[in-house]
Structure 1
């Protein structure tokens, strides 16, 4: 039995090391394997963690307890199941809920308020910073009205043309004729 436990422990450790090195490839390859099972808590991470804990608990109980093989097997399975549930509820489920994309479409820019970070000349390009969600994104910008726009002012994106945000000053500056 100790060989089974040692094999499970080694398999789990190898899976963990390979997951760290090739995580995205393994994740996409194993993604559809558990689709036939309707339980969402069976994931490669939880399954590998359970197998590793099963092997480790089995080795420890075999070497450091006076129990027979049957109770050791039962306790190892219970420990693995318990740690699998803990891993699912404590790691996998919160991570799945917290996933969010920072991606956006350039089509979402019109109407957004931004700030000039690199001055935009009347005929030419500069740069604006627009807030999307919790982050900021920088975009190439040109003046919609063909007026120079200095750094630090607020602008509104009027439209996007060929990947360039065409912007206009959000508020007219005092003392400047429109």
Structure 2
């Protein structure tokens, strides 16, 4: 049984090393081929952590306790599952939720407030500066009411059509 524990420990350590060193290379090589296996808690880091903890726990319990092999095996499995849950809930899940994107949908801009940075003529186009999350974006804009709007004026987006924001003056 000690051989199995040592095998798991060595495999887990090697897997962690290979995934750190060659992770990007391997992920691009198998790009999407294993997506059908995507059970959320079976992330490679979680599985490798559990296998490594199983092997290490088994070795420690075998060397430093007088427990029988079935009790050692049971304790090693329970501790490995506990470590896997800790890794998943303390690291993998928060990191997945922490991913940011600077993308935004033009359709969701309706009702947002912006500021005219290039004057909008009554029958033409200007430009509006808007906040999007942590950044700003400039968008082509036209007057919804067909009236001229000067630079520096606060506007509200009434409609988005053909990648153009149709805006009206924002009055508080």
Change (3 A) 1:4 1:52: closer
Aligned twin of 1:119: 118
What is the alpha-carbon distance in structure 1 between the residues aligned to residue 26 and residue 100 of structure 2?
A: 19
- Structure 2 gaps, min length 5: none
Aligned twin of 1:139: 138
What is the alpha-carbon distance in structure 1 between the residues aligned to residue 85 and residue 98 of structure 2?
A: 19
- Structure 1 gaps, min length 5: 173-178
Aligned twin of 1:8: 12
CA-atom RMSD in angstroms = 3.9
> Which deviates the most, 72-81 or 42-51?
72-81
Change (3 A) 1:76 1:11: farther
> Which deviates the most, 71-80 or 142-151?
71-80
Aligned twin of 1:129: 130
Change (3 A) 1:58 1:149: farther
The answer to whether residue 81 in structure 2 is matched with residue 81 in structure 1 is: yes
Shift of 1:74: 5.2
Secondary structure of 2:171's counterpart equals coil
What is the TM-score normalised by the length of structure 1? 0.63
What is the alpha-carbon distance in structure 1 between the residues aligned to residue 16 and residue 52 of structure 2?
A: 4
Tell me if structure 2 keeps the 8 A contact 1:46–1:88: yes
Change (3 A) 1:45 1:161: same
Shift of 1:129: 0.6
Give the paired residue count: 162
Tell me if structure 2 keeps the 8 A contact 1:15–1:48: no
